[in-house]
Amino acid sequence: MKLFVGNSNRILAEAIGKYLELPLGLASVRRFADQEIFVEIQENVRGEDCFVIQSTSYPANDHLMELLIIMDALRRASARRITAVLPYFGYARQDRKAGGRTPISAKLVANLITRAGADRVMTMDLHAGQIQGFFDIPTDNLFAVPLLARDIKEHLDTEHVMVVSPDVGGVVRARSLAKRLDAPLAIVDKRREKPGESEVMNIIGEVEGRHCILIDDIIDSGGTLCNAADALMAAGAKGVRAYITHGVLSGGAVARIAASSIEELVITDSIEPTKAIRDARNIRVVTTATLLGEAIARTTTEQSVSSLFD
């Protein structure tokens, strides 16, 4: 087994390598003067089981091209099997035609990854689970809920906790967390007037006197989360925390979270945290290295990955 990494999240890749007691593979990923990407695998990979760890986060297109070119280099070097490990799968929010004459970009990216040489894909908390069907190769969608539930139990008294889904689409994820915490569930019903903006309409569930935990897969601008937190506080919640898998946090999101009524935002390192995120007073990062490392180990030894979540 060999691990290779692009430039998107080297810190996470090194942590995975440490868990597996395996050094990262020798590879050079660099750019020419015109920003064209060049990859050189600097060790023998013939007949090896290779894992390429690369989140397609900002800048998404650069990191996606790095992933494709690394896999192409490994395929041409006669690697036995290539697994694309994407802690964060970019373009996942474009999983259907949102209007006339619009693309399904998640399917296009899935095709690119497959054609570049991937024999298997491993990712985490896909925005829509059906994206697994966009790939014509085996795809493992790992879940961060067990990891987040463990962190909640370590930092909070779960007796008065209520799990809250910030929208109807996230109810399955919220219910899974609520079951692990033996906590009740509430839902924020919102109406989105236009992309990037959300208006909270109603809260389904009794949140008064509860410590509310918002859970979602992605936080981008932070508007939805902040609006939901304000609505929960207005409904009598004692406090609001948020647990999100992928901290995209674009634009002024970090400042928006810092100024909001959210006590603490907990994200994973599926996307490498920026300096602003690391310095934020109410944002904390938990690592997914153990989860991803164990899934990689089970894949290479042909053991069950789904049993990780039993």
140 carries a ligand binding annotation: no
94 carries a ligand binding annotation: yes
Cα(150)–Cα(152) distance, rounded to whole angstroms?
5
36 carries a ligand binding annotation: yes
Which stretches does DSSP call E strand in 48-198?
49-53, 81-86, 120-124, 139-142, 161-165, 185-191
Tokens representing 21 are 């007691």
246 carries a ligand binding annotation: no
224 carries a ligand binding annotation: yes
216 carries a ligand binding annotation: yes
220 carries a ligand binding annotation: yes
**Strand-by-strand arrangement of the 139-142 sheet:** 2-5, 49-53, 81-86, 120-124, 139-142
- Residues acting as catalytic residues: 190
Please give the single-letter amino acid code of residue 223: G
With both helix axes pointing from N to C terminus, report the angle between 10-20 and 289-300 in degrees, rounded to the nearest 10: 60
127 carries a ligand binding annotation: yes
167 carries a ligand binding annotation: yes
Cα(188)–Cα(198) distance, rounded to whole angstroms?
11
Tokens representing 252 are 């002024």
Residues placed in the known binding site:
34-36, 93-94, 127, 167, 192, 216, 220-224
Residues placed in the known binding site for Mg(2+):
127, 167
Residues placed in the known binding site for ATP:
34-36, 93-94
